[in-house]
Structures are given as C-alpha cells and as structure tokens.
Amino acid sequence: MAKKILVTGGTGYIGSHTVVELQESGYEVVIVDDLSNSSIDVLDNIAKISGTKPAFEQFNLADKEKTSDFFKRNQGIEAIIHFAAFKAVGESVQIPLNYYRNNLVSLMNLLDCQREFNVPNMVFSSSCTVYGQPEKLPVTEATPRKDAESPYGNTKRVSEDILQDSVKAYPELKAIALRYFNPIGAHPSALIGELPLGVPQNLVPFITQTAAGLRDELKVFGDDYNTPDGSAVRDYINVVDLAKAHVTAIARLLDGKNKANYEIFNLGTGDGLSVLEVVKGFERATGEKLNYKIVERRAGDVEQIWADTTYANEELGWKAEKGLDETLLSAWNWEKKVRGIE
Ligand code: UD1
C-alpha cells in the first residue's frame, strides 16, 4: 500500500512541485493549505501531470482544533512535509505578529499532533536566510547561523530550534530541515509554477513579468557589491530539483537511514550567480530582450551566498541536475502560459 504523506502548503510554489514528485514516486499525498497564497486550480494541474488529484483540505494549521480534527480523520499518515508558512520578507517587518503566530503556532500544532497521532517524521522548509551574510563561502551546514534580518527570517531560525528541541525531548520524533537557497523555475509541463500575488519581490518572477509586459523594467538592486560584476550573488536552484530532494529526504526518514533524529541539509547548486548573470542568462535562454536598470541596493540584502552541497550530495544522494538556461526557460514558459502569450 502506498505510504501516505501530508504536504502542508501543497498548493504553493515549492509544495505543488513536491506533490507531483511524491506522487510520481508512488506516495499517496494529502494536502492541507489555507489557500491564502495559492489557488485551488493547482490541484487539477497537478492531476494533469501525475494522473492523480491529491486529497485536499482547506484550513489554517495555526487552528489547533481543526488540525487535531484533521489527524483524527486521517489515520495512517507516515510523514509530514511542512511548507505552509508566510514568506514575504518585507511584509513580515510590517506585521511581525502575524508572521510569528502563523509560522510558529502551525509548526507547534503539527508537532503536538505528531505525538498524539503517532506521525513520527517531518521534513521542514527552512532557508539559507538563517546564515545571513556568512564570513566564509560557500556555506556548509556547520556554518554558524546569524541573527535574522527580518521577522520572516527569524521564524525560520526559531522553527529550526523548535524542531531540534522537540526531537531531543521526544525521541519518537525525527526531523530533517532543508535549507533552500533561491528556488526558481517551473515544471517543464508549464502546468504549475510560481504565481506571486501583486508585485513580485523575488528576482525571477520580476524578470518574467517584465518580459511579459506586466512591468516596465527590472530594477537591479546594486552594482557596487564586492562581486565580479558588482551585482549580488545567489545560488539559484531549480524547483523540480528541489522538489526531488524532498522525496529523497522522506525516503531517508521512512527507511530509517537518518544518522540523527534531527538533520540539516543545504539545498542549492553549489554555484553562485550574480543578478546580471541571471539577466543575461534569461535573454540567452529565451531570446527575449529584458529592460533593466541599475538602482540602489535593497535594504536587508546580503552581498553574496552560495551553498556547499557536499553533504546533500553524499548523504542524501541528491544533486541539482538542471542548468540555468533550462530553468529560466521553464520560468518563461510558465509565465507565457499564465498570461496567454503565444
Ligand atoms: C529572499 C529571502 C530568503 C527567502 C527568499 C524567498 C532574505 C535575505 N532572503 O531571498 O530568505 O527564502 O527570498 O523568496 O530574506 N533582485 C533585484 N531586483 C528585483 C528582485 C531581486 O535585483 O526586482 C536581486 C536581489 O537584490 C538579490 C537577488 O536579486 O540580490 C535575489 O533576490 P530575491 O529573489 O528577492 O531572493 P533573496 O532576497 O535572495
């Protein structure tokens, strides 16, 4: 019988791609999402790719009663992948209590239910934001964490602590925290992808919306960083590659291959790319001309960060496979599909 996995935030950007990969690996998926930043239509598009429409319930996991009731009615879940969270850095500065309440209470409710309903395994969405601007590059999992720049970043840091303390106190629980670098791109089918509400904050959605004519120009935030071309450097990881890492992490927990009850993996490509390299890459991969202008640095941005992926490569047996051009083309194909551009 297929093993049942709860994917919270499963209609979101990374969640939806992970649901497809789980289904294609033979897992049964049940999604919980409050649809605060995603659409119910994602379920049909997942079904078009994998052939199976996942089970779905709409509620917010910060509601303890609804969360308990869900687990009461859904016996036999073997693991949780917990994506559901607020993620807008700027907004988190404006409404920090909403971020802390939503992101932390939902995690604690899930952990309580894991104990009560005997669901031993969790894979958690963390972020390279926990490293801040590291002293040494690339960053390994042992690189010290820094004070968070935003309430959003702090929820990731505190969530990691909550997980670590919980698995220590309750040995029946096991958790893997995955620290994502910068996820970009879309499923090659162009049926699922990133759909930001309002003006995109992240680089690649802004690029594709500019190319699609929704925005006049891309603003490149800063060309006076201490990097080869002066623009900031990140490690851009294809979202399908990233989704596959979750399947690997789930199998590791279910097969008891984990080396400790709490483990952390960096998920990136291992390559740092500048904003201008991504812009050039987009033009090269798609043949579209991008209107962009250099402006001031953005507050809160780090200069450069990229992953040392050795541990994920060797321990998880996972490696990023897709190249930049293919990934940027997938993002563009998705944008065109959403906007009805031929
Ligand atoms: C941010 C968060 C990260 C979070 C991720 C989720 C921080 C420090 N980083 O990553 O934790 O997981 O979002 O979405 O909180 N850029 C432009 N013009 C734009 C947009 C971006 O030049 O219009 C540049 C940025 O200055 C940056 C790079 O592109 O150098 C990537 O930016 P972005 O996509 O927003 O991701 P991060 O800020 O790296």
Per-residue three-class SS string for the chain: CCCEEEEECCCCHHHHHHHHHHHHCCCEEEEECCCCCCCCCHHHHHHHHHCCCCEEECCCCCCHHHHHHHHHHCCCEEEEEECCCCCCHHHHHHCHHHHHHHHHHHHHHHHHHHHHCCCCEEEEEEEHHHHCCCCCCCECCCCCCCCCCCHHHHHHHHHHHHHHHHHHHCCCCEEEEEEECEEECCCCCCCCCCCCCCCCCCHHHHHHHHHCCCCCCEEEECCCCCCCCCCCEECEEEHHHHHHHHHHHHHHHHCCCCCCCEEEEEECCCCCEEHHHHHHHHHHHHCCCCCEEEECCCCCCCCECCECCHHHHHHHCCCCCCCHHHHHHHHHHHHHHHHCCC
Nearest residue (by CA) to ligand 1, atom 5, is 182
Nearest residue (CA) to ligand 1, atom 16: 203
Evaluate: CB of 110 within 6 angstroms of ligand 1. Answer: no
Cβ of 208 below 6 Å from ligand 1: no
pLDDT tens digits, residue range 184-229?
A: 999 999 999 999 989 999 999 999 999 999 999 999 999 999 999 9
> Across residues 61-87, what is the average pLDDT?
98
pLDDT at position 342, please? 85
Q: pTM higher than 0.95, yes or no? A: yes
- Is 25 a residue whose pLDDT tops 90? yes
203 lines ligand 1 (CB under 6 A): yes
Residue 267 has pLDDT above 90, yes or no: yes
Model confidence over 88-133: pLDDT tens digits? 999 999 999 999 999 999 999 999 999 999 999 999 999 999 999 9
Residue of 146, 217, 221 to test ligand 1 pocket, by largest number of atoms within 8 Å of CB: 221
Distance 40 CA to ligand 1 centre (A): 27
Q: Is the CB of 234 under 6 A from ligand 1?
A: yes
